[in-house]
Chain A
């Protein structure tokens, strides 16, 4: 009870931080230049992480929530990301043909840093360098780089994805807390309300995922992990489908998040592995030793390919879903005609509904495969 209360307070605190900080990058009077609509750029912007939460509006009259930036660079530095978004834009040449890119030099507390494609770098001689001297065949040669060669700052900012992560976690706690409270209050009775719907999923994870894949004497230990991973992915998948705050961040389609989840499953698998599991990797029973020379490396690679597939599957599925919806909506803007909405909106709606299914399916798959790997690691020899 007190946990839920404090969780609510925490959520209120975060909400207050977010609501009180926004300042609008609205500059009336400035002429709005007609810019060509770049589909790729727009989509990449939407599925990538950012230091602001863009609400609405275009380049020069956009309304955003500026999120706090936390840098570890000779001590902790925290300031609002508005010092970057309101900073001074600068251009840099990135190839021998003279193509330029734009980056922003921070102002105020952000002085000394610059942001290029949402990555924060330390300035050197007041600018970012996209070229370096490289020795080749004895003589030095200028080589252009895709990203700045400047040292990047250790960035622990509360980015869009991190905020979305917090909100997702609080949502999971609130929902599951209310279910837990129902059972605490009523004891073992038939579920009602929220518990009625969530119990189906909880029992599914316990019976169809954990019990079905892990030996029935050992599965109980892994149920909390599998439940957490299932609801974490499921809720965040759904949150990502909401097109406005508190949704819209592509959290479960972010490679960092899926990497972490895959590593978590890998660690659980490795620490649960028994003699039989390691035996099958380093000394497959009934296999002559010359074959083992080939087999052992394959098995070792196999340990890592399984979570790697988990990581890529979730990342690709969720990112692809976001890209398709955005691309379909973009049809209207590419053709610059509302009439295309007759085609694009129903299609986007269809894909969005499909994404609801995918949101569940990917959470289920991740959880199912995690259980399968754990099950294989704790399986006892039966021959």
Chain B
């Protein structure tokens, strides 16, 4: 058997074994192995893609949250401002109302006082008139207690009239 002369028997066995090996390996071994490896690679690439997508989603969500927060803050500020304004206005209103009420009470008091005063003055007037009348009566009585006196008075009065 020369080193570089092909041998028919070995060629036959090599061919037989190789073809059998090729068929068996392809059908029962390479197929499941390659299928599994491919499936796993698909799974990994899918997972990576999903992670990337989730990350983007998270990003979007975060941005949305940020916006929401900003909006909420603005709203809160607006509400607080509103509330402050309302409070100020309420106090103002209350003050005004109170002032008006006080004014009204003062006015009313003043009116009452005036009325009382008028009444008092009227009473006083009446009494003064009565007292005056009494005094005048008394004086007249005294004046008219004698004829002379009566005469003198009449004269005097007449003189007064003349004077006027």
Contacts and interface: CB of A to CB of B under 8 A. Distances in A.
A165 B33 contact: no
A92 interface: no
B1 A48 contact: yes
Contacts of B4: 255, 315
A231 B39 CA distance: 23
Contacts of A179: 29, 33
Interface string B11-27: 11111011011101110
B146 interface: no
A332 to B, nearest CB: 24
A183 B32 contact: yes
A161 B14 CA distance: 9
A187 B38 CA distance: 11
B8 A154 contact: yes
B13 A156 contact: yes
B12 A156 contact: yes
Contact of A119 (B1, B34, B39, B40): B1
Given A255-B5, A257-B10, A172 B21 contact: yes
Contacts of A48: 1, 3
Contacts of A255: 3-6
A187 B29 contact: no
A184 interface: yes
Contact of B25 (A154, A173, A261): A173
B50 to A, nearest CB: 16
A176 B25 contact: yes
B23 to A, nearest CB: 9
Given A48-B3, A260-B11, A172 B25 contact: yes
A162 B13 contact: yes
Contact of B22 (A155, A165, A225, A259): A225
A183 B33 contact: yes
Max chain B C-beta neighbours (<10 A), residue from A47, A118, A264, A315: A264
Interface residues of A, number: 53
A202 interface: yes
A179 to B, nearest CB: 6
Contact of B14 (A119, A223, A228, A257): A257
A19 interface: no
Interface in A92-148: 117-119
A208 interface: no
A224 B25 CA distance: 8
The prevalent SS among residues of A at the interface is: helix
B25 A3 contact: no
Interface residues of B, number: 36
A316 to B, nearest CB: 10
A157 interface: yes
Nearest to A175: B29
B6 A256 contact: yes
Interface string A192-224: 000000010011001000000000000000011
Contact of B6 (A173, A259, A319): A259
A330 interface: no
Interface in B86-140: none
A374 to B, nearest CB: 15
A340 interface: no
Contacts of A370: none
A228 B33 CA distance: 13
Contacts of B25: 172-173, 176, 224, 227-228, 231
Contacts of A47: 3
B43 interface: yes
Max chain A C-beta neighbours (<10 A), residue from B20, B29, B31, B39: B29
Given A228-B26, A255-B6, A166 B40 contact: no
B46 to A, nearest CB: 11
Nearest to B43: A188
Contact of A224 (B8, B10, B30, B43): B30
Contacts of A49: 1, 7, 10
A254 B21 contact: no
Contacts of B8: 154-156
A372 interface: no
A209 to B, nearest CB: 14
Contacts of A44: 3
Interface of B: 1, 3-15, 17-18, 20-22, 24-26, 28-37, 39-40, 42-43
Sorted from nearest, which 5 A-B pairs have the closest CB atoms?
A188-B40, A183-B36, A188-B39, A224-B26, A256-B10
Given A224-B22, A254-B10, 17 more contacts: A48-B1, A117-B1, A118-B1, A154-B8, A154-B9, A156-B12, A180-B33, A183-B33, A187-B39, A188-B42, A190-B40, A199-B37, A203-B37, A228-B25, A255-B4, A256-B14, A259-B6
